[in-house]
Amino acid sequence: MKESILTNRASETYLERGTKAYRHVSLAFLAAGIVTFANLYCVQPLFPMFAARFHVTPTFSSISLSITTLILSVSLPIAASVSDAWGRKPVMVTSLVTSSALGIIAAVCPSFTSLLVIRALQGLTLAGLPAVAMTYLSEEIAANGLGYAMGLYISGNSIGGLLGRISISLLADHFSWRIGLCAFAAVSLLLSIYFWRNLPKSRHFKPKPADPASALQAFGEALRDRGLLCLYLVGALLMGGFVCLYNYMGFRLLAPPYGLSQSVIGMLFIVYVAGTFSSSWMGRLADRIGRKRVLFANVVLMGGGAAITLLSNLIWIVIGMIVFTFGFFGGHSTASSWVGRRAVDTRAQASSLYLLFYYVGSSIGGSLGGLFYSSLGWPGTVGMILVANLCAMILSIVLIRIPPVSRTGAPSSIRNESSPSRR
């Protein structure tokens, strides 16, 4: 009887869906997702302008994005370890504010080299939010609402990608790309302040002393789990294909026979709305029926969308982008929340490793896609994406055969790990 009372009281400290605190957390992470993706991918529609302004090739212009994702990826484990000692919220707030400030500096860089330096620094500072976000949500949200909260955070990513690309494309076309970067960096700073003011302090965070040996041991445990390793690789493959398509679609549509303007190409990024819906809806669906089936379905959708863009009709290209984006964000939302549920004692390390693979995939896929586009055109680019998706499908099938992690700790029993969200 006494044990039951203690369990009920402990479970009340986790944020349940429908409560005011849960809404505050969800909206704060929606804002954080907007800031992160907007600052990370704001340069993507500007590649043709960088190529013309700084006299560089399309592949080289894409380095302004690849260098940010690469530095971000290798910084994620460091940020996760710092959050174990310093706290989840301080690391995330510092990440958002400093990366927004660097966005303003990027707008006034006089050369492509200086732009790359600032973009590299942004990769370092941006790491603090994604490295900790999944860990914070997994620690603070009740199991039956985790998928939706994670999905809303991923929705913020898609909204940030949408608003950043459209607003910067419009401002670049009518004014300059420098004004576009500066304006959105200022908006990002305001959203960062909103995040700081509205995110509750951690209730379940327990600081750990900085111990490199223990950190390495925790990362080793997070790498030895076969299920987690499959999820890391799925994230890398999906993200590599996603960035590849959006990196070079602008070059394709600027050239004949389409000859679209920068503003019109920027407006095409409104297909990100599909990702905004997909991530939260798929998160709820995964909470109900399990992540295994949902992940596989989204990988198939993403590959199908990429194949549709091979058609020459612009309407079909847009439809393909919608299907592709829907599948990507649904798959990413499912895989990332699955990492948080599968990792028990190494959530921070597992989450940072997932994102390390995720952003390394972005860097490799984004730059490698340029070589395929330059030598084989759009069919070569899509072919690379489909190979990555096929590998992700195989890994999804392997995941179905890997049993769930056995959970015996007190927090597991409190949070009802027998629910479908564990699958």
Give the residues across from 15 on adjacent strands: 141
Whole-number average pLDDT of the chain: 82
Produce one character per residue of 235-267: b if its CB has 16 or more CB atoms within 10 Å, e if not.
Answer: bbbbbbbbbbbbbbbbbbbbeeeeebebeebbe
What confidence tier does 298 reach under pLDDT thresholds 50, 70, 90? very high
| pLDDT top residue among 202 and 225 | 225
CB 136 within 8 A of CB 120: no
Work out the number of other CB atoms within 10 angstroms of the CB of residue 79: 26
Question: In this prediction, what percent of the chain has a pLDDT beyond 70?
Answer: 90
Produce one character per residue of 149-162: b if its CB has 16 or more CB atoms within 10 Å, e if not.
Answer: bbbbbbbbbbbbbb
Work out the number of other CB atoms within 10 angstroms of the CB of residue 175: 11
**CA separation, residue 89 to residues 151, 391, 400 (Å):** 19, 36, 34
* pLDDT of res. 133: 84
Helix (H, G, I), strand (E, B) or coil at 313: coil
Provide the residue type at 170 as one letter.
L
Tens digit of each residue's pLDDT (9 = 90 or more) over 226-262: 889 999 999 999 999 998 998 889 889 988 898 888 7
Q: Residue 282: which residues within 8 A CB-CB, separation 6 or more? A: 151, 294, 298, 329, 330, 331, 333, 334
Instruction: Calculate mean pLDDT across residues 79-88.
Output: 83
Tens digit of each residue's pLDDT (9 = 90 or more) over 103-149: 999 988 989 999 999 999 999 999 888 878 878 887 888 777 777 77
What confidence tier does 9 reach under pLDDT thresholds 50, 70, 90? very low
Determine the Cα–Cα distance for residues 146 and 283; give it in Å rounded to an integer: 8
Instruction: Calculate mean pLDDT across residues 52-75.
Output: 85
Query: Does 130 sit behind a cis peptide bond, omega within 30 degrees of 0 on the bond before it?
Result: no
Nearest Cα to Cα of residue 168 among 70, 269, 81: 269
**CA separation, residue 409 to residues 222, 344, 345, 413 (Å):** 17, 9, 9, 7
Determine the Cα–Cα distance for residues 137 and 361; give it in Å rounded to an integer: 24
State yes or no: pLDDT of 411 exceeds 50. no
* pLDDT of res. 406: 52
For residue 395 the two structure tokens come to 């890994």
Question: Whole-prediction pTM value?
Answer: 0.69
* pLDDT of res. 191: 92
State yes or no: pLDDT of 310 exceeds 90. yes
Q: Which domains does the chain carry?
A: 2-198+214-404 (1.20.1250.20)
